[in-house]
Structure 1
């Protein structure tokens, strides 16, 4: 299971950004001929209005759509450009040098299972070698094979501690439905509000976003994550705020400002 999960994590493609997010030739021409930053942003926003994008970034002092100037397309929600891979990655968590791949929407479940089975494996090695380690330490034995036991125990403990810390951190992220990048920089939504819990659906639903609804598939590195990697359900808090903003009177500026605080 450990090797299977590792293989899936390494070899699974991060998935391409759909072609509909690539700017049309007309929009690119308007973008290039723009005289200032405001006209460039307006050209992008006009094209992006028909796309399912709810996250934004701050450019020129206001919230606008995220655009990748390297890949030349608009970024879907939770998508980021990886400088190492050279492409935009759907729901990018981070680039992991240990697997030489980006951890993203397509292989995040495999990565979590890899950490879990590696943690179980290291725990097993530590527990089974501990009696021999204590015996060698107690009697200062240097008999045949003792150096191998000491080496195995020390290496297993080192990997156990490192994997436990990484695995615990990612369990924390799953609990709040965040990526590593979102933990360091909270997403900005269409109303200009920065919210680190914008995709938090509750512990159970957050877990199902990664592992799916079929519990029999949870232990296996077989893709069962929910969604399409492009759009993601928002938390009830964000959705309720958006509904309230739509319903409130636009002429009442004090009321509108209250919802943005």
Structure 2
């Protein structure tokens, strides 16, 4: 039995090591898909159409403007979610307790061990791997080897955990990826259909192959990303994460569900000018603790029913 446990632990460690090693490959894959789409749309099809005149030139201008705008937003969101720390527990962070309920402030590990049964209903946890307290909605990531604030999941596509500090950027990456891949799919649809017609298709073998490959790849990405986007929209509307949705699947009510509007603002902020760009206003960062991943207001109805 001991040998089996050792083998399982080794396999998990090996799996996490493989996930970390996939990082650079996934980045290259994303950039490769973008590069193929750029070549097919700009250089092969719609760039040359600019000089055709008439309606063809007008359509080419519209497609190229939309394509480049969405591409900039996609890459901006992608690089931001890759480079932004998802949220690390501050050193020596300890939970503060309400003295009216008889708890002491602050707690150390030995005190936590003694009070753990009494505090279980308040969802206070201690990470044995990181040897530190875990703030509300915080989870340990085995791939990153650390606790992540409001962890949603570890994403190999962005070579990073998705957590409190970069969840908005991840959602914008999904959003702009869906729009960009859908645009490329629609823009290349007529060119793709030409492969199955009896008409002679102009262009070199390389350009034709790039157009065909780009259409297939972008269609596949658009369909798959759409599913993820719908899932995360539902998570945001309920103010939960992928991990929390799994953990509370049998719980009828959720303590952090404040209504769709406030739930949305806890991820995107209150300043509408920043909703669709991977950034926050300074005012939102100052007055919304939830954006920092440490403090989350709970539904007062839930708290009144709990105690």
Shorter-chain TM range is 0.7 to 0.9
Distance in 1 (CA, whole Å) between partners of 2:75 and 2:245 is 29
Q: Distance in 2 between matches of 1:79 and 1:44?
A: 17
- In 2, the alpha carbon distance for the partners of 1:54 and 1:234 equals 15
The answer to whether the 8 Å contact 1:55/1:77 transfers is: no
Structure 1, unaligned runs of 5 or more: 32-39, 57-64, 188-192, 246-261
Count of residue pairs brought into register by the alignment: 215
Q: Contact (CA 8 Å) 2:253, 2:302: kept in 1 or not?
A: no
**Separation of aligned partners in 2, 1:218 and 1:140:** 46
**Deviations 1:40-83, CA, capped at 9 Å, x for gaps:** 7325579xx7xxx9842xxxxxxxx3110011112111000011
Mapping 1:140-151, distance limit 5 Å: 141=200, 144=203, 145-151=207-213
> 1:97 corresponds to which residue?
156
CA distance in 1, matches of 2:108, 2:212: 65
Q: 1:15 aligns with which of 78, 87, 90?
A: 87
Unaligned runs of at least 5 residues, structure 2: 1-72, 96-104
TM-score normalised per structure 1: 0.73
1:209 aligns with 2:269: no
| Cα drift, residue 240 of structure 1 | 3.2
> Matched residue of 2:93: which SS?
helix
- Pick one of 137, 144, 150 that aligns with 1:85: 144
RMSD after superposition: 2.8
Normalised to the residue count of structure 2, the TM-score between the two structures is 0.63
1:178 aligned onto 2:234: no
Aligned-partner Cα distance in 2 for 1:218–1:211: 6
Q: CA deviation at 1:163?
A: 0.9
- Structure with bigger strand share is 1
Q: Deviations over 1:21-41 (max 9, x none)?
A: 28x9x944x47xxxxxxxx73
Deviation of 1:142 (Å)? 6.0
Quickly say closer, same or farther: Cα 1:131–1:104, change in 2 above 3 A.
same
8 A Cα contact 1:115 1:167, kept in partner? yes
Cα distance in 1 between the residues matched to 2:257 and 2:214:
41
Relative to structure 1, the CA distance from residue 215 to residue 241 in structure 2 (aligned partners, 3 Å threshold; closer, same or farther) is: same
| Contact persistence 1:79–1:92 (CA under 8 A) | yes
Determine if contact 2:125/2:133 at 8 Å carries over to the other structure. yes
Change (3 A) 1:80 1:140: farther
Indicate if the aligned counterparts of 1:27 and 1:44 stay in contact, CA closer than 8 A. no
Q: Give distance in 2, aligned partners of 1:134 and 1:94.
A: 39
Q: Using the alignment, how far apart are the partners of 1:111 and 1:71 within structure 2?
A: 26
Matches within 5 A, 1:219-238: 219-223=276-280, 226-227=288-289, 228-238=292-302
Matched, 1:131 2:190: yes
Distance 2:150 2:253 in 1: 15
Provide the residue aligned with 1:197 in structure 2.
254
